[in-house]
Structure 1
């Protein structure tokens, strides 16, 4: 089956419930999103910002609070998710919404900040490497890239530990049996890569100051800067 088509279908089906379940499905919700938004730094008053796999605009909403004059582009496969984002961000101007595959879209400008949250783990290893290279090219000098995502454990033991911890928290979260079942079903769409591999791929793409700025089991915030033109 086509993984991206499956992703689009699952997230279209779940769009209306997505935000209400976030805190139960992400045990480190506040730190995860707050840190990702906080490190999205620029000296420009009206930065050009791109959100890859923007979904309901949750991360974008936190960033645009800091940069209300930003020019913001949200791209996602799911039109239903972007409809929720439009509602969330309706008070802001200069926002472009694109329903497309962000790995294939032809971008027409460079960006000061590029972000992504809980999306890139749906890509294969090769797609991730290629995306990081493309993101580097699209980032303007002095700009940065932030990926708040999930990673694969670096050993079978650690991966099992991550999954066990997450499931134990989800099953005590107050979600219904059906909602938990749906969240487990979406796991089948994941193609997670290890943290070490992704840090290496970001460096190979050309990013400087590459680091994992936050980690809670398999939830991470990855960061890189573009220091050369």
Structure 2
């Protein structure tokens, strides 16, 4: 594994080499890369398997935020083809690919901003999200985590797999570059763009705990992703 110093040096070099590249609108970014998306994401094969194994044994209905073409769902339905899933994603072409792969599965596709989508109250046996939430700032994420907490049934889980910043220096560096690029391109505040602004593990856990979750376990770097299991504890 690379040292933090080596990793940060490489990150700074990459940011410098891509300094002239413009930010792309989120849905457009993924639509353009649809043909190669699943091959690109296959590096997280272990994490997809872990996701499926972490779901509660009595899980019947789950909400998947940023489901994309459903790589984590491939593994979940291998384990239990009857689990009902509602998948929310901004990219209709990704949802279409998921539906094409699994026409016979109990799946509801929602092409919408999950910050605006109504999750309901005490509705889901589990909520999952993989490699999606690292594109957003802490304040909207905290509001989203509050929605997730409220929509889960008692003693249910939120399983988050994501890119986690190695240190506060990485978190702050990526955030500053992101803000500069948005300003240079005069991107409207309500426009989602593709750029990574991950939080450190401590900050990610802090947001979850602030809204009432108990972070039961953290599985770090099974394949350069981090998985957090946060439970809505019974009160």
Fold-level match, TM-score > 0.5?
A: yes
Higher radius of gyration, 1 or 2:
2
- Deviations for 1:54-90, whole angstroms, at most 9, x for unmatched residues? 0001112211222222211011000011111112222
Where does structure 1 lack aligned partners over 5 or more consecutive residues? 161-186
- Deviations for 1:179-200, whole angstroms, at most 9, x for unmatched residues? xxxxxxxx96112111111111
Give TM-score, length-normalised by structure 2: 0.74
Where does structure 2 lack aligned partners over 5 or more consecutive residues? 1-22, 174-192
Shift of 1:217: 8.0
**200-209 vs 48-57, greater mean Cα deviation:** 200-209
Q: Which residue does 1:201 correspond to in 2?
A: 207
Check whether the contact 1:16–1:84 (CA below 8 A) recurs between aligned residues. no
What is the alpha-carbon distance in structure 1 between the residues aligned to residue 28 and residue 221 of structure 2? Answer: 29
- Deviations for 1:76-133, whole angstroms, at most 9, x for unmatched residues? 00001111111222232x2100000011112346110110011011111111111111
What is the alpha-carbon distance in structure 1 between the residues aligned to residue 231 and residue 170 of structure 2? Answer: 32
- Deviations for 1:152-173, whole angstroms, at most 9, x for unmatched residues? 121438999xxxxxxxxxxxxx
1:131–1:157: structure 2 CA closer, same or farther, 3 Å change rule?
closer
The number of aligned residues is: 193
Matched, 1:127 2:133: no
Check whether the contact 1:112–1:140 (CA below 8 A) recurs between aligned residues. yes
Give TM-score, length-normalised by structure 1: 0.76
Check whether the contact 1:42–1:143 (CA below 8 A) recurs between aligned residues. no
Aligned alpha-carbon RMSD (Å): 2.5
Matched, 1:97 2:109: yes
Instruction: Report 1:20-31 matches (<5 A).
Output: 20-23=39-42, 26=43, 29-31=44-46
What is the alpha-carbon distance in structure 1 between the residues aligned to residue 215 and residue 198 of structure 2? Answer: 23
What is the alpha-carbon distance in structure 1 between the residues aligned to residue 124 and residue 41 of structure 2? Answer: 28
1:20–1:217: structure 2 CA closer, same or farther, 3 Å change rule?
closer
What is the alpha-carbon distance in structure 2 between the residues aligned to residue 48 and residue 155 of structure 1? Answer: 36
Q: Which residue does 1:16 correspond to in 2?
A: 35
1:42–1:142: structure 2 CA closer, same or farther, 3 Å change rule?
farther
1:192–1:158: structure 2 CA closer, same or farther, 3 Å change rule?
closer
SS at match of 1:21: helix
